[in-house]
């Protein structure tokens, strides 16, 4: 498939905030506009069932979405046919999360139809900028990991990698965050309430998934033992397909999400016998599997539901892809030649046992043959080293829910340990550490080890993360299998995070570098470097930023009623709220700055707006307290007349992909200040740099590669390195109290917060929080405070010299091409999947 097929529709993805397209393309599309308008009207009439006179904006949105979807279908079918006839290897991306956001502008601009749609609708008196905002975000993910899956789907379609995403079609995505009196409240997310125009329900594509029951073994005539799993409970998985369009409509791939339904349609007999509730209970139990993303796991029932979700989507996906392979190839012997299955973190790791079960129990493969096929087909991406995030499941729960899988895991483990003993390895400590079963805290299955052993490739998501994986979680497995671990630094799709999110900057790039920059940003963005030296260009660059900042200022005004000065430095910290991401460190700087302004109100201060956004996990009390502290600090500072607006603090509620698209192009400074060694990669760091924000950050995750590409002098890198953090944790001499005592500034900040300076109505609110960082300081907040303060001073110094600031800003955009997810996918495709 080639991406050059649509020259006539080189239409201005970048024209969507009122920028005009060239006369040439305008002429070329008059017919297209008329045709698109006709399609929308037909959809409105025959699919939505409304006439234009009394259609609501929602009706129009649905009609446009359906017309857009139609435009993908022919290409989608071509791609599907080509994949069959061409016989290419297929890539399956298994992920419990896909954080997609909205699809309307994404699909239209990738199809080159955005401007066509705008004109077509204008002719109907409908404003596309109004109706595009009606689309709910598909928030089927928590944060970076789910967003990565969405970027990968788009890049695979762009590069013509024949691929399918597999996940769960949750009724309710990630909760909607409301802020009430400064506290986070979680509200049910309802993205499906008005229907989902992008998906096709495939009622005929359904599989039965078993749970529980028992296993029996019989010996057949050949003397082979065969196992039968008599599961007790069946749940049906129904497929819902969404076409994912690549850039310029190059490829269209399928995202197949599974919905859980009861095995039997309805217990009519039971219902008629008077058991109305009982008849509905089975349905409710089955459907609970695809009810919510990440059910609360504080209870045992919640944990079990999570495991049911994992097995459910893995089992459905494997049945589906084996069926496809058998239909095309006739035998599973060739599975690894034509199939790669990428496991996005350990959530789908049960695939190792399930694929073995299908091969051995169902398709009668001999164990070792099945194991070779399994490991050659599967590969695994690790996303975290945080011990609390490494999945393990109690053996008891596994035995009850998936008895046959537990047997298989034991057997894999036995072969694995035998094999090591044969290799002369008898060190009990080593054998214990590489075992699939953890014996220390009640017996649990280690899903990370299972995924590692069951795959031919285990990759980290940045250079540093991969290096730490080799040294920490997988140190012993790495010694035994030194070839297996490899690094694939994450990336982002520029279509969404530049062309769609920042049309002004995109147009500026096209003006100076030509349209080719849209097709080959990885190489062409570098050609921007000389422009960094030109004052006139820097001026234009600053102007597009200012326009985006005005837009964000309006959003802040509308949502919070706070007015901010668009010419102030926009200092942005948006991501999940987590102690390791250190929003707290930023808050300490905010308070220190506030105190400094108060003690010298006439000083030469750089006006700043501190912008925060992010959700805390519902059960993560400390993170929720940090949100409250942000709002307490914001209320105090924003209301203080001595500050005179020189410093403003805002917390924008309900951070999601759409809000990120508004915030990131408006950022001057990007906060990437995690405790070194704890952020596996980060991807918002890349989104900001691509849009020209300067990064203040630690040498963590992909910040390291960013500093190599961009140059340390165009970022503000500070703080302890991963090695230094580790040394402080190991040696016992790290003493936060001594650091606090040695820093007047830090002591003043902490005592103001601890003493209730920002919570006069509840002066004890932050005592525990402050004592925590004073005594343990697990995340090295105190240790890095002074270095962070100094780095922030450098930020101000650079900001006061616009020529230097904007030179760095332009160079950030020019040197971020390597972080395209197209580059990442090419690396996966060549080195892991072998499809390029």
Ligand X SMILES: *Cc1c(COP(=O)(O)O)cnc(C)c1O
Cβ proximity to ligand X: between 104 and 613 the closer is: 613
Q: Which of 50, 329, 576, 728 is catalytic?
A: 576
Cβ proximity to ligand X: between 291 and 576 the closer is: 576
Which residues are bridge partners to 243 per DSSP? 254
Among 113, 316, 625, 660, binds ligand X (CB under 6 A): 660
Interaction residues for ligand X, span 708-727 (CB under 6 A): none
- Name the one range near ligand X by CB under 6 A: 106-114, 582-590, 650-658, 774-782: 650-658
Q: How many angstroms separate the first and last alpha carbons of the chain?
A: 13
Interaction residues for ligand X, span 593-622 (CB under 6 A): none
Cβ proximity to ligand X: between 251 and 682 the closer is: 682
* Beta carbon of residue 187, minimum distance to ligand X (angstroms, whole number): 17
- CA nearest neighbour of 821 among 524, 522, 575: 522
Give the number of other Cβ atoms within 10 Å of residue 273's Cβ.
11
What is the CB-side half-sphere exposure of residue 137 using CA atoms within 13 A? 23
Provide the residue count of the chain.
836
Q: Which of 176, 383, 465, 488 is catalytic?
A: 383
Q: Is 173 in the site for ligand X (CB under 6 A)?
A: no
* Beta carbon of residue 745, minimum distance to ligand X (angstroms, whole number): 27
Among 33, 40, 136, 143, binds ligand X (CB under 6 A): 143
Reading the block at residue 466, the tokens are 């991969």
Strands, E assignment, 694-787: 694-697, 716-717
The H or E element spanning position 829 is none
Q: Is the distance from CB of 321 to CB of 164 less than 8 angstroms? A: yes
* Beta carbon of residue 343, minimum distance to ligand X (angstroms, whole number): 20
* Beta carbon of residue 689, minimum distance to ligand X (angstroms, whole number): 12
Long-range pairs of 432-439 with CB within 8 A, sequence gap ≥ 24: 433/476, 434/476, 434/477, 434/480, 436/409, 436/412, 437/395, 437/409, 437/410, 437/413, 438/392
DSSP-assigned states of every residue in 402-435: -HHHHHHHHHHHHHHHHHHHHTT---HHHHHHHS
Backbone angles phi, psi at 401, to 5 degrees: -85, -35
* Beta carbon of residue 51, minimum distance to ligand X (angstroms, whole number): 38
- Unique residue bearing structure tokens 């006739």: 330
Reading the block at residue 187, the tokens are 């509200």
**Three-state secondary structure string covering 359-389:** HHHHCCCCHHHHHHHHHHHEEEECCCCCHHH
Question: Given strand 647-652, what is the order of strands in its sheet?
Answer: 647-652, 608-613, 569-574, 669-672, 694-697, 716-717
Cβ proximity to ligand X: between 461 and 637 the closer is: 461
* Beta carbon of residue 682, minimum distance to ligand X (angstroms, whole number): 4
Q: Which of 72, 392, 630, 683 is catalytic?
A: 683
The alpha carbon of 813 is separated from its chain's Cα centroid by a whole number of angstroms, namely: 22
Reading the block at residue 347, the tokens are 């959530």
Query: Residues touching ligand X: how many (CB under 6 A)?
Result: 13
| Total H helices, total E strands in the chain | 35, 24
Cβ proximity to ligand X: between 569 and 706 the closer is: 706
- Name the one range near ligand X by CB under 6 A: 296-304, 524-532, 681-689, 730-738: 681-689
* Beta carbon of residue 666, minimum distance to ligand X (angstroms, whole number): 14
Return d(Cα 822, Cα 816) in angstroms, integer.
13
- Unique residue bearing structure tokens 């805390």: 616
* Beta carbon of residue 615, minimum distance to ligand X (angstroms, whole number): 9
Among 346, 407, 544, 683, binds ligand X (CB under 6 A): 683
- CA nearest neighbour of 10 among 519, 368, 455: 519
- Rounded to the nearest 10°, the torsion over CA 161, 167, 171, 173 is -80
* Beta carbon of residue 147, minimum distance to ligand X (angstroms, whole number): 4
Which residues are bridge partners to 90 per DSSP? 339
Cβ proximity to ligand X: between 253 and 672 the closer is: 672
Which residues are bridge partners to 168 per DSSP? 258
User: Is 729 among the catalytic positions?
Assistant: no
Cβ proximity to ligand X: between 462 and 813 the closer is: 462
Q: Is the distance from CB of 614 to CB of 655 less than 8 angstroms? A: yes
Cβ proximity to ligand X: between 147 and 169 the closer is: 147
- Name the one range near ligand X by CB under 6 A: 207-215, 326-334, 394-402, 679-687: 679-687
Cβ proximity to ligand X: between 505 and 577 the closer is: 577
User: Is 683 among the catalytic positions?
Assistant: yes
Among 682, 697, 772, 817, binds ligand X (CB under 6 A): 682
Q: Which of 39, 444, 495, 581 is catalytic?
A: 581
Return d(Cα 645, Cα 426) in angstroms, integer.
67
- Unique residue bearing structure tokens 């700055």: 593
Q: Is 340 in the site for ligand X (CB under 6 A)?
A: no
- Name the one range near ligand X by CB under 6 A: 182-190, 676-684, 705-713, 752-760: 676-684
* Beta carbon of residue 383, minimum distance to ligand X (angstroms, whole number): 11
Q: Is 656 in the site for ligand X (CB under 6 A)?
A: yes
- Name the one range near ligand X by CB under 6 A: 464-472, 563-571, 678-686, 806-814: 678-686
Cβ proximity to ligand X: between 25 and 816 the closer is: 816
Interaction residues for ligand X, span 576-595 (CB under 6 A): 576
User: Is 610 among the catalytic positions?
Assistant: no
* Beta carbon of residue 3, minimum distance to ligand X (angstroms, whole number): 25
* Beta carbon of residue 488, minimum distance to ligand X (angstroms, whole number): 16
Cβ proximity to ligand X: between 597 and 660 the closer is: 660
Among 29, 254, 489, 684, binds ligand X (CB under 6 A): 684
Which residues are bridge partners to 208 per DSSP? 236
* Beta carbon of residue 650, minimum distance to ligand X (angstroms, whole number): 17
The alpha-helical segments, DSSP class H, found in 493-601 are 494, 503-513, 516-519, 521-524, 535-560, 583-599
Q: Is 144 in the site for ligand X (CB under 6 A)?
A: yes
Cβ proximity to ligand X: between 68 and 177 the closer is: 177
The three-point CA angle 348-349-353 to 5° equals 115
Q: Is 177 in the site for ligand X (CB under 6 A)?
A: no
SS3 content of the chain, % helix, strand, coil (to 5): 55, 15, 30
User: Is 383 among the catalytic positions?
Assistant: yes
Which residues are bridge partners to 549 per DSSP? none
Interaction residues for ligand X, span 795-824 (CB under 6 A): none
Q: Which of 261, 488, 575, 628 is catalytic?
A: 575
Q: Is 657 in the site for ligand X (CB under 6 A)?
A: yes
Q: Is 575 in the site for ligand X (CB under 6 A)?
A: yes
The alpha carbon of 508 is separated from its chain's Cα centroid by a whole number of angstroms, namely: 28
Q: Is the distance from CB of 363 to CB of 451 less than 8 angstroms? A: no
Cβ proximity to ligand X: between 237 and 673 the closer is: 673
DSSP-assigned states of every residue in 762-807: STTTTHHHHHHHHHT-TT-HHHHHHHHHHHHHHHHHHHTSHHHHHH
Pairing of strands 339-344, 378-381: parallel
Among 147, 582, 765, 807, binds ligand X (CB under 6 A): 147
Q: Is 697 in the site for ligand X (CB under 6 A)?
A: no
Q: Is 102 in the site for ligand X (CB under 6 A)?
A: no
**C-alpha Rg value of the chain to the nearest Å:** 28
Which residues are bridge partners to 99 per DSSP? 139
Q: Which of 75, 540, 549, 687 is catalytic?
A: 687
Which residue ranges make up the site for ligand X (CB under 6 A)? 143-144, 147, 575-576, 655-657, 660, 682-684, 687
Which residues are catalytically annotated? 383, 575-576, 581, 683, 687
């Amino acid at each position: 498939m080639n991406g050059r097929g649509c020259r006539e529709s080189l239409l201005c993805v970048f024209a969507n905030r009122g920028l005009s397209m060239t006369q040439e393309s305008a002429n070329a599309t008059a017919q297209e506009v008329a045709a698109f308008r006709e399609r929308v009207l037909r959809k409105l009439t025959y699919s939505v069932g409304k006439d234009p006179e009394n259609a609501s904006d929602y009706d129009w949105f649905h009609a446009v979405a359906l017309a857009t979807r139609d435009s993908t279908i022919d290409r989608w079918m071509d791609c599907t046919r080509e994949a069959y006839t061409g016989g290419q290897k297929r890539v399956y991306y298994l992920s419990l999360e896909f954080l997609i956001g909205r699809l309307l502008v994404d699909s239209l601009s990738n199809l080159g139809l955005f401007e066509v749609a705008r004109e077509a609708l204008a002719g109907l008196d409908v404003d596309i900028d109004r109706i595009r905002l009606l689309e709910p975000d598909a928030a089927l993910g928590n944060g970076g990991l789910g967003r990565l899956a969405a970027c990968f789907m788009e890049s695979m379609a762009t590069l013509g990698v024949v691929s399918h995403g597999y996940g769960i079609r949750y009724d309710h995505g990630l909760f909607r965050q409301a802020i009430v009196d400064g506290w986070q409240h979680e509200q049910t997310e309802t993205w499906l309430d008005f229907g989902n125009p992008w998906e096709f329900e495939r009622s005929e594509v359904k599989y039965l998934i078993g749970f529980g029951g028992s296993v029996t073994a019989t010996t057949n005539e050949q003397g082979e033992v065969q196992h039968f799993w008599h599961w007790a409970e069946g749940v049906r998985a129904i497929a819902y397909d969404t076409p994912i369009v690549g850039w310029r409509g190059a490829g269209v791939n399928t995202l197949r999400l599974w919905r859980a339904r009861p095995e039997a349609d309805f217990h009519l007999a039971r219902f008629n016998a008077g058991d109305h509730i009982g008849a509905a209970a089975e349905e409710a139990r089955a459907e609970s599997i695809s009810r919510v993303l990440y059910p609360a796991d504080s209870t045992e029932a919640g944990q079990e539901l999570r495991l049911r979700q994992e097995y459910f989507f893995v089992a459905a996906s494997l049945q589906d892809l084996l069926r496809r392979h058998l239909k095309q190839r006739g035998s599973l012997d060739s599975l690894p030649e034509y199939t790669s299955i990428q496991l996005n973190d350990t959530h789908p790791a049960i695939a190792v046992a399930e694929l073995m079960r299908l091969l051995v129990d169902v398709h009668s493969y001999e164990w070792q043959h099945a194991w070779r096929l399994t490991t050659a087909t599967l590969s695994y991406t690790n996303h975290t080293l945080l011990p609390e995030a490494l999945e393990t499941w109690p053996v008891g729960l596994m035995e009850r829910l998936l008895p046959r899988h537990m047997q298989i895991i034991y057997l894999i483990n036995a072969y694995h340990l035998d094999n090591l003993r044969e290799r002369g390895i008898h060190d009990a400590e080593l054998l214990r550490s590489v075992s699939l079963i953890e014996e220390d805290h009640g017996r649990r299955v280690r899903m990370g080890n299972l995924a590692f052993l069951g795959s031919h490739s285990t990759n980290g998501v940045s250079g540093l993360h991969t290096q730490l994986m080799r040294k920490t979680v997988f140190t012993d497995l790495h010694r035994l299998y030194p070839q297996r671990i490899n690094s694939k630094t994450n990336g982002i799709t520029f279509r969404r995070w530049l062309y769609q999110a920042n049309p002004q900057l995109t147009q500026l790039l096209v003006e100076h570098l030509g349209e080719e920059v849209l097709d080959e940003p990885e190489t062409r963005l570098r050609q921007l470097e000389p422009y960094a030296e030109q004052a006139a260009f820097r001026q234009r660059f600053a102007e597009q930023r200012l326009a985006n900042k005005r837009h964000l200022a309006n959003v802040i005004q509308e949502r919070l009623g706070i007015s901010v000065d668009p010419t102030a430095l926009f200092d942005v910290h948006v991501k999940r709220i987590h102690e390791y991401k250190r929003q707290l460190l930023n808050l300490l700087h905010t308070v220190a700055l506030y105190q400094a302004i108060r003690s010298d109100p006439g000083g030469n201060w750089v006006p700043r707006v501190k912008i925060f956004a992010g959700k805390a996990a519902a059960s993560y009390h400390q993170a929720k307290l940090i949100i409250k502290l942000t709002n307490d600090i914001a209320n105090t500072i924003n209301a203080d007349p001595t500050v005179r607006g020189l410093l403003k603090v805002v917390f924008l509620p309900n951070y999601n992909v759409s809000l990120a698209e508004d915030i990131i192009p408006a950022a001057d400074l990007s906060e990437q200040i995690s405790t070194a060694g704890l952020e596996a990669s980060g991807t918002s760091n890349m989104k900001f740099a691509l849009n020209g924000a300067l990064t203040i950050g630690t040498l963590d995750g992909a910040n390291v590669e960013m500093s190599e590409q961009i140059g340390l002098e165009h970022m503000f890198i500070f703080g302890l390195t991963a090695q230094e953090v580790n040394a402080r944790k190991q040696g016992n001499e790290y003493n936060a109290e001594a650091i606090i005592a040695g820093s007047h500034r830090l002591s003043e900040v902490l005592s103001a917060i601890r003493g209730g300076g920002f919570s006069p109505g509840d002066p004890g609110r932050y005592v525990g929080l402050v004592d925590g960082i004073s005594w343990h300081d697990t995340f090295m907040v105190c240790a890095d405070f002074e270095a962070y303060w100094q780095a922030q001073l450098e930020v101000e110094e650079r900001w006061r010299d616009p020529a230097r600031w904007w030179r760095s800003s332009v160079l950030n955009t020019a040197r971020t091409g390597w972080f395209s997810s197209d580059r990442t996918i090419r690396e996966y495709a060549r080195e892991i999947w072998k499809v390029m």
